[in-house]
Amino acid sequence: MELLQVITGDLLEQFGSGKEIPGSGSAAAFQGMLSAKLLITVISLTKGKEKYAPFFPALTQMNERIESHIYPNLCRLFQQDSDHFERTINSRKERDRAFRTDTYLHNKLSIKALEELKVAVNIPLEIAKLCAELGKMAAFVFDNGFQAVRGDSHVALSAAFSGLSSCLSIIQLNLKSFRVNDHLWIEQKLEETNPLKLKFKELDLLVTAKLVILENEVKENLELIKDINSLIYEYKGKRYLSDEDIEIYSVALQNVIWKYRMTIWGKNSSLHPIDILKPEYIFRKGLSYNCYVKDEIDTASENSKIQVAGIIDQRNKIVLISCKVKKEVQNFTFAHELGHALLHKKMVLHRDLPIDGSKTNRNIEEYQADKFASYFLMPKKQVIAIFKEIFLTDKFIIDENTAFNLVKKGPYALRIECKNLRGLSRKLAKVEAYNNQYFKSISEIFNVSVETMAIRLEELGLLDF
């Protein structure tokens, strides 16, 4: 019977039928086959994600090895173990029937049965070697493959370990059946199992270690949620909040995010403190919100002069952001809605932007959410550090040197061009070259609009006109 052509349910029935075949060797090969297929799946899912690009060559090589060598051979051994063990069983039955009738025939058939059993030892040895190889691959894929499907990676690792363990037990059990005159052959087979025993111990430790990693990540995620909830409990719904209170709150949140950065972004992420200033991630990982960027956002407002940039529904834990606004405005709106989630109890709130660009009268909640967004996306410490790195000063003052470095003209020309403090702050927020050095503008670094960055530079007293 071709076992691979049997429906899974029927195959399991055969394993549980009380008959000798298919036996434990085929079961071990099946575990290896399952490990191989799971690894192929994880590798396939990983290769579409640029985050894991450094590991693509190794993963590709593994995938080719599995598909061209390991899996086909496991399939062959899966069937071969069943077929050969059936011959071994038949030899034993034939031997047993001759026991009372023909002593010489019985002895001859006993020798034949042992010869058949030798092959039955070699098959699980092959399976064990393939499973050991799969286990090593599975550990690598667990560490460096798509982290969201490490359940599959760990099952692949566990299945490979189980297949190896099973084969070692089968081999030891079969070796007990041989006679004294086979001692050299037994020693040879025991010698062949020694490297596999080392692999067994290695995989045993890895199976446990990877499980501990997952358990620790659950605990870390729980601690992240608890720390964020602690901040929410302290500030949410607080009636009087000064700008200083809101800034202290945003810094406290940033510290929590930095502390748990590996939990939020994964261990393979190389992060700078500015890289953690992504409110959408905090919504998803820390607050369990679903976030969507949409073409249309429905609200009850019928004001045709107002464009809704974003909306938060705290009851249903959902945030909607309009794709009709610029990327940097989307980012600020995410941070604005994050401010609502952390500060305010009202269930549904939305950020409105006048289509003509004029100012609107904002209530206290909208003002606080904007302040939070500003402090969160442009933290004082980081803005000052980047500003000093770009403009080589703690405070930009117009003089011969700074004017030439900025516009290749004198101070008077720079003052005429900028007109006032806001004009200068806008200039510094968007400039991409200074002192013959080229760089991302400071507004682009912090992923905010030029106007938002200009206001923040003024708030921090980083320039004078």
Say yes or no to pLDDT of 384 above 90.
yes
Say yes or no to pLDDT of 247 above 70.
yes
User: Which amino acid makes up residue 65?
Assistant: R
For 310-330, write each residue's pLDDT tens digit: 899 999 999 999 888 889 999
Higher pLDDT, 357 or 443: 443
In the chain the domains, ranked by start, together with CATH numbers, are 3-216 (1.20.120.680), 273-377 (1.10.10), 380-464 (no CATH)
Say yes or no to pLDDT of 137 above 90.
yes
Report the pLDDT averaged over residues 373-396.
95
- DSSP letter at 48? T
pLDDT at 354: 42
- DSSP letter at 19? S
The answer to whether 235 and 241 are in contact (CB under 8 A) is yes
Which range, of 28-32, 71-75, 113-117, 243-247, averages the lowest pLDDT?
Answer: 113-117
Residues 6+ apart with CB under 8 A from 430: 441, 443, 450, 453
pLDDT at 55: 93
pLDDT at 223: 92
For 396-443, write each residue's pLDDT tens digit: 999 999 999 999 999 999 999 999 999 999 999 999 999 989 999 999
pLDDT at 356: 37
- The C-alpha torsion from 286 through 290 and 293 to 294, rounded to 10°, is -160
- DSSP letter at 283? I
Q: Residue 77 burial by CB count (10 A; 0-12/13-18/19+): exposed, middle or buried?
A: buried
Residue among 18, 42, 38, 40 nearest 30 (CA): 38
What is the share, in percent, of the chain residues with pLDDT greater than 90?
Answer: 55
Report the pLDDT averaged over residues 63-79.
94
pLDDT at 116: 67
What is the share, in percent, of the chain residues with pLDDT greater than 70?
Answer: 86
Q: Residue 300 burial by CB count (10 A; 0-12/13-18/19+): exposed, middle or buried?
A: exposed
Residue 425 CA to residue 427 CA, distance in Å, equals 5
Higher pLDDT, 275 or 455: 455
For 157-189, write each residue's pLDDT tens digit: 999 999 999 999 988 887 776 776 777 877 888
Say yes or no to pLDDT of 64 above 60.
yes
Hey, what are 374's tokens?
């500003």
For 79-129, write each residue's pLDDT tens digit: 888 777 666 666 667 677 766 677 766 666 666 666 766 767 788 899 999
How does strand 290-294 pair with strand 318-322?
Answer: parallel
For 6-63, write each residue's pLDDT tens digit: 777 777 777 777 676 777 888 899 999 999 999 999 999 998 888 889 999 999 999 9
Residue 296 CA to residue 293 CA, distance in Å, equals 9
Question: How far is the CA of 259 from the CAs of 74, 227, 360, in angstroms?
Answer: 45, 10, 38
pLDDT at 294: 86
Say yes or no to pLDDT of 297 above 90.
no
Residues 6+ apart with CB under 8 A from 219: none
Angle formed at CA 276 by CA 271 and CA 282, multiple of 5 degrees: 135
How does strand 306-313 pair with strand 318-322?
Answer: antiparallel
Instruction: Identify the H or E element spanning 321.
Output: strand 318-322
Report the pLDDT averaged over residues 207-232.
91
Report the pLDDT averaged over residues 137-143.
96
* Count of Cβ atoms closer than 10 Å to residue 456 Cβ: 24
pLDDT at 138: 97
Say yes or no to pLDDT of 358 above 60.
no
pLDDT at 22: 77
pLDDT, the chain, mean: 86
E strands present in 365-458: 396-397, 433-434, 437-438
